[in-house]
Each structure stands twice: as C-alpha cells, then as structure tokens.
Amino acid sequence: MKSKIAGTGYYVPEEVVTNFDLEKIIDTSDAWIQERTGIKERRFAKKGEETTSTMGAAAARMAIHNAGIETEEVDFIIMATLSPDYYFPGAGVLVQRELGLQKKEVGALDIRTQCTGFIYALSVADQFIRGGMYKNILVIGSEMHSMGMDMTTRGRGISVIFGDGAGAVVLQAVGDEEKSGILSSNLHANGDFAEELAMVSPGSHAGYHEKNPAKYGAEGASVYDSVFITPEVVENGLYFPYMNGQLVFKNAVIKFTQTINEALAKTGKTKEDIDMLIPHQANLRISQFIQKRMGLRDDQVWNNIQRYGNTTAASIPIALAEAVQNEAIQRGDLVCLSAFGSGFTWGSVLLNY
C-alpha cells in the first residue's frame, strides 16, 4: 500500500490588495516590495465572513470533487496552519464541521510547523495510509495572515509579504502497481532558530527564553498571575510576528537545496528528472536562488507568489492545485514539494503525480 494525490483544490479570497493599496496605509513602495520579494498583490479575507477554516473547507471541497469521491469517503483530516480561528481547539475540527464530517466523527489533527506545515502534514498522512489506517485523508493548508498583522510602518518588513488563502489535497491509498504515489518525505527542524521567525505572544513564556526578541519582564510573577496577554504584550505589539529577514534568507537557500537533493538521492533521481518543483512561496528571490543553484529551467519551477504573497502552510497546496489546473503538471510527472520556514523547519516530498 502507498498513497497518491487523488485530487487538488484551492481557495483564495476575492479581495485583491496590491502594493499600491499598501502604499496608501504604510510607508512602503511597489518598487521596494517587488524588488525584494517579487510580490505584486495578495488576497485578504473578508473579516467576519471568512476564516482560516472556511477557506480550508472551500479548498477541501474542490480537492474532494477533483478526486472524484464523496465527502463521506474522507476518513481523516490533517490541517496545517499558524493562523487558526481559535487559540484552541485547532482549526481541523472546524473544517470537519464546515464539511459536515462531524456526523461521521472522523479524526482531525492540527499541524503547527508553519511554512513547512503542508510538507509535515502530507508526510504524516502518507504514513497513516502506508500503515493501513485510512484510505482517503484530507490534507489542508490554510492561512489568514490578515487577521493580525501590524499594518503600520512599524510592521512593514512583514506585512507586505504575507497573504491569505488555502489549498488542499485528497491523499488516497493505492496499490503498489499504481504509477502515482509519494516516493519520499524528508522532515527537519532546528529549534536554535525558534525566535528568528516567530510570534511569541500570547503564550506561556513570560520572558523565559533568552533568545526571545520580544523578551519582557515577568520577574516577580507569582504562580497565580496570568502571563498569556499582559499589558506589555498589548502595549508593545508583541502579538505581531517578528522575522530576522536576512537570516531567514541565508538559511532558506541552503536548506531548500539540501532537502531537495536529499529527496533525489534517496530515490535515485536526478534534478533533470524533476518535471515540476513547487517550492514554498516564501519570496520570489529565494525561489530564483534555488532554481539557479540547482540549475533548473523556468518550466521546472512553479511560482505564484507574485499574485498571492506568502501564504505559509497554504502556499504549496495552492501552487500545486493551480499547476494541475493549468495542466503544467500531468499524471505521472515527477513533482518535488519543498519548504523552509519558522522553527526553523524544512523538508521535502518527492512524488509521482
């Protein structure tokens, strides 16, 4: 038994926010954003009407339709996001409810490995299928970054990069004779870099971690004090994401390349065999760097960050679904998915589509 991607789907909100729109509210420019990131526009969700889970469910419906199965045939859900509807429970159960799958009481698991979330989620789903536990697993990546970014000049290094959206696949159990299937998954992390790309509050840390860029004093706090959302957190905007952009860039280009090569080496494939590389859409400059370093042609790499910005866990499944929709990927093609991000975490999945 192995697993194959039976169907793909994606959803992006209608509201297009261009760099020119951002120029009106923060001190930035279309030229700065395009030069550094390649991004021209992104989508922002309609507050109060769309959430991380409703977008995830919309992408899931398309993936289920394209897989040619009924929703009731889904027997497990894995949801990757760093921007859930609630602090708890996770967004997986909310997607389950949106899809009407609560009637079947199928399990719903949330994955929290940020930009690498979809890679981790896919690899967990693959193992459940190989172990014979499930037949059709919905694997979703969904993000609503616009729910909480610093849309002032203070937050411009981050807020111009991220966008909202969701992507999903149905991962299905198939026999060994089937040509399509996941060939290799590779997962990595290094917690030394945890605070270099992070949103540290609200949380339990109360200033404990030495490397916390948003360290605030909780000296003298008693066991009865609530440290989750303190006045310091609110006053200093510590609930906004922080990114050491240059460090992220340096590590990303190395780790992306390493983990793609790792997937190729494990399966006896070469870079010439890759029909399509779908890198996590972190930054067009990062993707171009990897392409150049690996010596890949333009038609071997899919980029859509220009239109959607960085959608973290959603970026790979959105790009995959779009590439399939555009017939840039055909059944049997060798597809490499790869991501790097907060944690730091990174990894790759190599598959025959």
Count Cβ neighbours within 10 Å for each residue of 308-343 and write b for 16 or more, e otherwise: bbbbbbbbbbbbbbbbbeeeebeeebbbbbbbbbbb
User: Which residue, 33 or 111, has its beta carbon nearer to ligand ACO?
Assistant: 33
Instruction: Based on the residue annotation, tell me whether 336 is a catalytic residue of this protein.
Output: no
| Catalytic pick among 136, 212, 310, 352 | 310
> Catalytic: 145?
no
Q: Which is nearer to ligand ACO, 170 or 305 (CB)?
A: 305
Which of 19, 115, 145, 304 does the annotation list as catalytic? 115
Closer residue to ligand ACO in complex, CB, 192/273? 192
Q: Which is nearer to ligand ACO, 252 or 334 (CB)?
A: 252
Q: Tell me if residue 212 is catalytic.
A: no
Minimum distance, C-beta of residue 22 to ligand ACO, in the bound complex (Å): 8
334-341/276-279 β-pairing = parallel
User: Minimum distance between the CB of residue 344 and ligand ACO, rounded to whole angstroms?
Assistant: 8
Positions that interact with ligand ACO (CB under 6 A):
28, 32-33, 36-37, 115, 156-157, 160-161, 197, 245-246, 248-249, 252, 282-283, 285-286, 310, 340-341
Residues with catalytic function: 115, 280, 310
